[in-house]
Amino acid sequence: MLGKEIKVVAMIGAGWMGKQISSWVATKGYALRIYDISPEALKAAKEFVTQTVELTFMSPEDKGKLKKILEKITYHDKLAESVRDADLIIEAVPENLELKKKVFAEIDRFAPPHAIIATNSSSIPVSKIEDAVKRKDKVLNIHFYAPIYQRPMVDIMRGTQTSDETFETGKAWIESIDCVPLVVKKECLGFVFNRVWRAVKKECLKIWAGGYADFRDVDRGWRIFTGMNMGPFALMDAVGLDVVYDIEMSYYNESGNPDDKPPQALKDMIDRGELGMKTGKGFYDWKGSLDFTSPEFIKPKKK
């Protein structure tokens, strides 16, 4: 069942997360508007979303369904156009408070009055962005975990004036796309599970940067301990080390505690262009290995 009152979803920012969220939401039957400021990113998103949807509905009996889904996705080079008929708008631009405020203000200006505006930010509470909009009762943190097909769970958190109706609509929408809502009861930096993951990341980076152990041993230990097939360093490579750094800096800027500052060695890797899977090198060398960011891996599973 579709979430209450939500029929059209707009995705603002179609990078690593925007592309995945778009593919997932499209396969669940929602009409989708996708916008990115970069023409290259928008083109790449179109290719990615089309391929993932095609891979999900590739059997001959799904032909009609596939056509209908693809027809409901539109791509836009103007934000105003992309949000004009949206009921829910999800922002996934880079992790920068001023940028997110600017984007929220623009969405607020052009979206219909009833529309909910959500941020997919990994570390910025929407309460810090809400001043940029008039509809303070209609804002949310809606935070996805990547890759969505492996981690179908979404944190949901209010701003200071978010109405119960907005919250319940958001929660019902998350359930409607077959994800588990992780409800934040009281504003919390890092939401529900991201806060747990953050503690893991922070300690792992300290062990590595402090020269206490080889990162591969940390990953080996994690894999044995949890039964997962990837350890924290491989996961950070998948997320993107620039994104990890920005997120850690958000925590540091919030607390001002030097212990929260990400290690310089991580910044050095970023400056060398070693951003993880997306550049072929991060902690691990991914060149020539399977591309876990490709549509083949990311495609949503058909129910």
Residue 166 Cβ, how far from ligand NAD at the closest point, in Å? 20
Residues of this chain, 11-50, that bind ligand NAD according to CB under 6 A? 12-18, 36-38, 41
Q: Each residue of 129-159: b (16+ CB within 10 Å) or e?
A: bbebbebbbbbbbbbbbbbbbeebebbbbbb
Single out the segment in contact with ligand NAD by CB under 6 A; choices: 47-55, 91-99, 152-160, 178-186: 91-99
Residue 131 Cβ, how far from ligand NAD at the closest point, in Å? 18
Our CB check for ligand NAD shows the closer of 30 and 191 to be 191
Our CB check for ligand NAD shows the closer of 27 and 121 to be 121
d(CA 156, CA 170): 8
Can you read off the two tokens belonging to residue 156?
């949901």
Our CB check for ligand NAD shows the closer of 96 and 163 to be 96
Residue 145 Cβ, how far from ligand NAD at the closest point, in Å? 6
Can you read off the two tokens belonging to residue 18?
């925007």
Single out the segment in contact with ligand NAD by CB under 6 A; choices: 57-65, 92-100, 177-185, 204-212: 92-100
Does position 93 interact with ligand NAD (CB under 6 A)? The reply is yes
Single out the segment in contact with ligand NAD by CB under 6 A; choices: 114-122, 154-162, 197-205, 256-264: 114-122
**Rg of the Cα atoms in the chain:** 19
Can you read off the two tokens belonging to residue 86?
């949206």
Q: Which residue of 239, 241, 266, 277 would you call a contact of ligand NAD, by CB under 6 A?
A: 239
Look at residues 178, 129, 117, 126 and name the one whose alpha carbon lies nearest to residue 157: 126
Q: How many CB atoms lie within 10 A of CB 85?
A: 15
- Nearest position to ligand NAD, beta carbon: 15
Residues of this chain, 119-148, that bind ligand NAD according to CB under 6 A? 120-122, 143-144, 146
Can you read off the two tokens belonging to residue 155?
């944190």
Residue 227 Cβ, how far from ligand NAD at the closest point, in Å? 21
d(CA 57, CA 66): 6
Reduced to 3 states (helix: H, G, I; strand: E, B; else coil), residue 240 is coil
Q: Are 103 and 26 in contact (CB under 8 A)?
A: no
Binding site for ligand NAD (CB under 6 A): 12-18, 36-38, 41, 92-95, 103, 120-122, 143-144, 146, 239-240, 243, 247
